[in-house]
Amino acid sequence: MSKQKNTATIAEEALRQSEDRYKAFISNSSEGIWRFELDKPIDTSLPVKKQLKAVYKYAYLAECNDAMAKMYGFSKAEELVGARLPDLMDPQDQTNIAYITDFITSGYKLNGRESVEKDKFGNTRIFENNLVGIITDGLVYRAWGTQRDITTQKSAEERQQFLEKVSNKLVVSLDQQVTLQEIAQLIVPYFADYCRIAVLDKSKNISEITVTHKDPSKINLAASLYESYKDMPNLTHGIPSLIKNGKPEIIPVIDDKLLKKFDSSSTMIQLVQKLGLKSYMGVPLIARGKVLGAMTFSSVKEKRYYSNYDLLFVTELARRIALTLDNIRLFKDAQEEIQERERITEVLTLQQERLHLAQEAANIGVFEWDAISDRVQWSEHMERLYGLQPGTFKGTYKEWLKYIHPDDRNRIRDEFYEHIKKKAIMDFEFRIVLPDGTVEWIYSKQQVFFDKKRNPIHTIGININVSERKQLMINSAFLAEASKILSSSLDYETTLHNVASLAVSQISDWCIIGIIDKNAGYQQITMQHKDPKKVKWAEAVGKEYPPALNANSGIAKVLRTKKPEFHPYISDDMLVAVAKDERHLKLIKQLGMTSVMIVPLLLHNESIGALTFISSETKRRFTKADLSLAEELAQRAAIAIENARLYKNSQDAITVRDDFISVASHELKTPVTSVKIFTQVLLKNAEKNNDDKSIKSLVKVNKQIDKLTALIYNLLDISKIQSGHLEYSMKQFSFDEMISESIEVLQHMSDKHTIILEGKSNSLMYGDEDRLIQVISNLITNAIKYSPLADKVVVHVSVSKKRITVAIQDFGIGMDKEHLQKVFERFYRVSGTTDSTFPGLGIGLYISKEIVLRHGGKLWVESSVGKGSTFYLELPVATK
Ligand code: ADP
């Protein structure tokens, strides 16, 4: 018996112990352990949907542990037991539907499935379930299971995913505006009902603010809430405080209790109430220690209250967003920098191009000289200026000197060394010889850079080809000089010769001038080259191959067409065309012509000759300016030639005239003397016979004969003066007597004028008395003749310093200043030779001056038109 009892006791004991263990396990387990019973067993052969419906309809919690009750917000199992399944699990929730469906289809056995349930407060909880149904004869009666609360883990996972989503958006975005908008749309409604993001610009002002609300119609309301508080002082929360403090902030619960603390009439509070704000948190957007903006999250949903856990999450979110914003900015800055750099590069390239073009256009070569290494760098154009292929300049100072014309080289070297220590800016002008022998003028200007000890270390400079300008200067100087030569003499052959030799030293290597002679045709007057040997050689060639005057080129053509020939470039073909045979071609090739110009000497549109300029050794190419110069020179030369010819013609005419006068006066002298004698005989007879009528006529005839005689003698005198044969018979005589006697004779000749003698010389005079009487008579006769309306002539004699001065003053027509000198010239008359009021030949004063000069005296006149003239005669007193 006892043994039985024992066995039963042991079994009971074991059972009890097992139940205790079960209870202990259940109550101590952190897992929720439960048993659901069904009001009515469910037929497992029913369609799944029907079974599902039945599960939700008949299941109720029959048993659970405290741990499970706690998962729903209760503290004890009793508080939860009895709950019906739909109370805990929303039957509409898709996750739940799938969960139960799977439970059914798997034969009421399922592990590790999630359910979405609600706790006592209505908060969503997520549980992981393991469960098994008790089936007997195809009917399910109940289910046992365990569950674990994975809500936190789940939301952490979800948030992680959210963060990833956000990050993905952030990564691809480079547009701040778009990014913020998209992120705000992710946040709302997942994490907030409305969300505000503000971003600062570089100067720390809020540049952008976005508001997103789950209900788009409330966006404006949310926006105006911000407007209502943004400028309020002492704000404890919101965007401005976040930006100012750079710290996250949270108001977990916004309820009436809290709002009561504020002035209920303020717009801000009214708006908060209108929006139904429940909970709030905000985070600054910080990257690299700098506040870039801020975000706020607001909940208006029943029961969504933010926790510190949430704040932690949004802080992380904000960190990522800030990082992206910072990246966008950096990218933008970099982009801008790149663009700026690109722009600068572009401008720089443009400028360099412009500089290059300007240098090209201005013909400017650029060089740099490094004094320490003595390396000289030349720009491409510089090389071109020196006739070099790009990249072929050898790059030293010495090498440069080689290109300088031998005549300029030493000067430049000396100047260079003399100035380089003193001057920051230097400029030179010199000639260079290009590899092909061409001579060019260069203007060089350079800036010298010194070290602290004032040693030159570096120079930068430019070279400009100034040949044209230089040649223009040379040309105009040449033209001036040539003109001077042309007007220096009337011997045109000599002057042309001189002009040609001037030309070869300044404008061309060869200069040939030829003139057309009426009888002999074109005659070369001069051929010039600085090397006389070459001239000889060319003359020989010219003799062997005389230029054909009918040629269709060269001088012949120019003479014929009266147009210049201008060949800045001479090609071989041109030489071939001109050459008469192989030998001739060879000879003219030897000349090495590079440029030729031939201009006609034109006079009254007729060719009278030609000027030829040839450039050879200097390789100079004549320009249009040179051609103009040649034409100008030709014009002046033609005028000079004409002048010379006219002069020669007039000289010839004068000789003819003088010869004629001399012959005529000689021839006339004898018959006039006979006539005079004969008249005097007749006059004597008439006086004897008192034949008054005849006397009157004969006196008149006699007077005319005297005039004629005087004229003939004057003409004779002139030809004697011309031939230097005017003779003087010198003796001593009383000057005063000579004067008064002359006046007495002259007074007889004039009825109208009284000749008044003033003063005396009381001097003796040594000279040809008759000739001096001739002078006095001439001057007084003129005084009377040129003062027809006056009634006197004053003769004033004075003596001073052994010189007698006679002033013969009239009150007549006088004369202009311009004639005062000229009246003493041969045949010069103020009123011309055809004048009838004052007849005369213009020889009296000429002869008088001649006589006075021969007596060591002077003769001059002072006069003014309408007032009269005073002729002065000054003669030396006789010295014993
Ligand atoms: P002529 O009187 O025969 O023409 P002259 O040689 O004596 O030649 O004088 C030259 C010119 O000088 C004159 O033609 C006249 O124009 C000018 N002349 C000379 N004497 C006088 C004078 N007393 N008053 C004004 N003109 C004068």
Q: What is the pLDDT of residues 296-344, one digit of tens each?
A: 999 987 667 888 878 888 888 888 888 888 887 887 788 787 888 788 7
Question: Is residue 3 predicted with pLDDT exceeding 70?
Answer: no
- Contacts of range 376-385, beta carbons closer than 8 Å, 24 or more positions apart: 376/400, 382/463, 385/440, 385/442, 385/463, 385/465
pLDDT computed for residue 402 by the predictor: 92
Q: What is the pLDDT of residues 226-266, one digit of tens each?
A: 888 888 877 788 898 899 999 999 998 888 888 888 777 78
Sign of CA dihedral 24, 25, 30, 35: negative
Q: Is the CB of residue 813 below 6 angstroms from any atom belonging to ligand 1?
A: yes
- Tell me the C-alpha distance between 489 and 501, whole Å: 16
Tens-place pLDDT, residues 538-574: 999 888 888 777 778 889 899 999 999 999 999 888 8
CA distances for 292 relative to 169, 226, 318, angstroms: 19, 18, 10
Q: Please list the residues that pair with 757 across neighbouring strands.
A: 795
Q: Is the CB of 868 under 6 A from ligand 1?
A: no
**Residue of 794, 845, 848, 849 to mutate, ligand 1, most atoms within 8 A of C-beta:** 845
Q: How far apart are the two ends of the chain, measured CA to CA in Å? A: 216
Q: Ligand 1 pocket test: which of 715, 777, 778, 786 has the largest number of ligand atoms within 8 Å of its C-beta?
A: 786
| CA 823 – ligand 1 centroid, Å | 7
The CA 763 to ligand 1 mean position distance, Å, reads 29
Beta carbons of 478 and 616 less than 8 angstroms apart = no
Tokens matching residue 64: 């659970």
Is residue 512's pLDDT more than 60? yes
Q: Is the CB of 829 under 6 A from ligand 1?
A: yes
- Give the residue from 195, 160, 219 showing the smallest Cα distance to 279: 195
| Amino acid residing at 65 | N
pLDDT of residue 174: 66
**Would you state the pLDDT for residue 55?**
95
* Separation between Cα atoms, residue 52 and residue 101, nearest integer Å: 6
Question: Is the model more confident about 7 or about 500?
Answer: 500
* Residue 530 to residue 505: CA distance in whole angstroms: 7
Sign of the dihedral through C-alpha 473, 475, 477, 480? negative
Q: How far apart are CA 781 and CA 793, in angstroms?
A: 10
Average pLDDT, the chain: 87
Alpha carbon distance 59, 73 (integer Å): 21
* Residue with CA at minimum distance from ligand 1 atom 14: 829
Helix (H) or strand (E) holding 360: helix 308-361
pLDDT over threshold 50, residue 1 = no
Q: Which residues contact 455 (CB under 8 A, 6 or more apart)?
A: 371
Ligand 1 lined by 780 (C-beta under 6 Å):
no
Of the given ranges (163-172, 225-234, 377-386, 439-448), which has the lowest mean pLDDT? Answer: 163-172
Question: Residue 455 is encoded by which pair of tokens?
Answer: 């040693």
Q: H/E element holding 611?
A: strand 606-615
Ligand 1 proximity of 842 Cβ (cutoff 6 Å): yes
Q: Which residue has its alpha carbon closest to ligand 1 atom 16?
A: 830
Nearest CA to ligand 1 atom 21: 782
Query: 277 in helix, strand or coil?
Result: coil
Q: Each residue of 70-105: pLDDT tens digit? A: 999 999 999 999 999 999 998 988 888 989 999 999
* Ligand 1 atom closest to 787 (CA): 24
Give yes or no for residue 823 CB within 6 A of ligand 1.
yes
Q: Is any atom of ligand 1 closer than 6 Å to the C-beta of 831?
A: yes
Å from CA of 720 to ligand 1 middle: 21
Ligand 1 pocket mutation, candidates 713, 782, 821, criterion most atoms within 8 A of CB:
782
Alpha helices of 689-768 — where are they, by DSSP H? 692-723, 735-749
Query: Is residue 781 within 6 Å of ligand 1 at its C-beta?
Result: no
Nearest Cα to Cα of residue 508 among 591, 590, 618, 631:
618
Q: How far apart are CA 131 and CA 151, in angstroms?
A: 19
Q: How far is the CA of 657 from the centre of ligand 1 (A)?
A: 21
What's the pLDDT at 303?
Answer: 66
The region of weakest confidence among 165-174, 520-529, 739-748 is 165-174
Q: Is the CB of 782 under 6 A from ligand 1?
A: yes
**Pocket flag, ligand 1, residue 718 (CB < 6 Å):** no
Residue 756 is encoded by which pair of tokens?
């008044």
Q: Give the pLDDT confidence score for residue 49 in this predicted structure.
A: 94
Q: What is the mean pLDDT of residues 146-171?
A: 81
List the residue whose alpha carbon is closest to atom 13 of ligand 1: 829
Ligand 1 atom nearest to CA at 830: 16
294 - beta bridge partners?
198, 284
Closest CA to 877 of 737, 757, 732, 741: 732
Environment class of residue 627 by beta-carbon count within 10 Å: exposed (0-12), middle (13-18) or buried (19+)?
middle
For 27-74, write each residue's pLDDT tens digit. Answer: 777 788 999 999 999 999 999 999 999 999 999 999 999 989 999 999
Which DSSP state fits 117?
A: E
Instruction: For the chain, give the percent of residues with pLDDT over 90.
Output: 36
Among all chains, which residue has been given the structure tokens 């004094």? 371
Cα 368 to ligand 1 centre (Å) = 78
Distance in Å, CA 842 to ligand 1 centroid? 7
Alpha carbon distance 185, 162 (integer Å): 12
The per-residue pLDDT for 54 is 95
Q: Which ligand 1 atom sits nearest the alpha carbon of residue 829?
A: 14
305 token code pair: 């209250």
In the chain, what percentage of residues exceed pLDDT 70?
96
Which residue has a Cα nearest atom 12 of ligand 1?
Answer: 823
Tell how far the Cα of 19 is from the centroid of ligand 1, in angstroms.
177
CB 797 within 8 A of CB 863: no
Given this model, what pLDDT does residue 369 score? 87
Residue 842 has pLDDT above 80, yes or no: yes
CB 266 within 8 A of CB 306: no
374 C-beta neighbours (distance < 10 Å), count: 12
User: Is pLDDT at 599 greater than 50 in this prediction?
Assistant: yes
User: Is the beta carbon of 824 within 6 A of some atom in ligand 1?
Assistant: no
Q: What is the distance in A from the centroid of ligand 1 to the CA of 861?
A: 11
Residue 34 CB-density burial (10 A; 0-12 exposed, 13-18 middle, 19+ buried)? buried
Q: How far is the CA of 838 from the centre of ligand 1 (A)?
A: 9
Q: In what order do the strands lie in the sheet with 803-809?
A: 754-758, 792-800, 803-809, 868-876, 858-864
Determine the pLDDT at residue 615.
Answer: 93
Distance 737 CA to ligand 1 centre (A): 26
CA atoms of 633 and 482, how far apart (whole Å) = 8
Residue 810 Cβ < 6 Å to ligand 1: yes
Residue 173 above 70 pLDDT? no
Residues forming beta bridges with residue 450, ordered by sequence position: 456
pLDDT (tens digit, 9 = 90+) per residue, 727-766? 889 999 999 999 999 999 899 878 899 999 999 999 999 9
For ligand 1, say whether the CB of 77 is within 6 Å of any of its atoms: no
Ligand 1 centre to CA of 727 (Å) is 24
Residue 666 binned pLDDT confidence (cut-offs 50, 70, 90): confident
pLDDT tens across 433-474, in order? 998 888 889 988 888 888 888 888 888 888 988 888 888 888
Q: What separation in angstroms does the CA of 407 have from each of 320, 402, 462, 479, 615?
A: 80, 12, 22, 24, 19
Nearest CA among 430, 418, 373 for reference residue 397: 373
Main-chain phi, psi angles of 517, to 5 degrees:
-100, 135
Task: Produce one character per residue of 813-832: b if its CB has 16 or more CB atoms within 10 Å, e if not.
Answer: bbbeeebeeebbebebbbbe
Strand partners, 596: 567, 614
pLDDT at 381: 86
Q: 792 C-alpha to center of ligand 1: Å?
A: 17
Say what the pLDDT of residue 600 is: 95
Model confidence pLDDT, tens digit, residues 633-657 = 999 888 888 888 888 888 888 888 8
**14 pLDDT higher than 80:** no
- Which ligand 1 atom is at minimum distance from the Cα of 810? 23
Residue 531, CB half-sphere, CA atoms under 13 Å: how many?
8
840 pocket-lining for ligand 1 (C-beta < 6 Å): yes
**For the residues 511-537, what does the mean pLDDT come to?**
90
R_g over Cα of the chain? 68
Taking the centre of ligand 1 as the mean of its atom positions, its distance from the CA of residue 299, in whole angstroms, is 133
What 3-state DSSP class applies to 294? strand
Q: What is the dihedral of CA 649, 652, 657, 663, to 10 degrees?
A: -160
- Cα-to-centroid distance, 465 and ligand 1 (Å): 64
DSSP E strands: which ranges in 411-506?
Answer: 425-433, 439-450, 456-465
Residue 779 CB less than 6 A away from ligand 1: no
Q: Which of 829, 849, 852 to mutate to test the pocket of ligand 1 (most atoms within 8 A of CB)?
A: 829
How far is the centre of ligand 1, averaged over its atoms, from the C-alpha of 822 (Å)?
A: 10
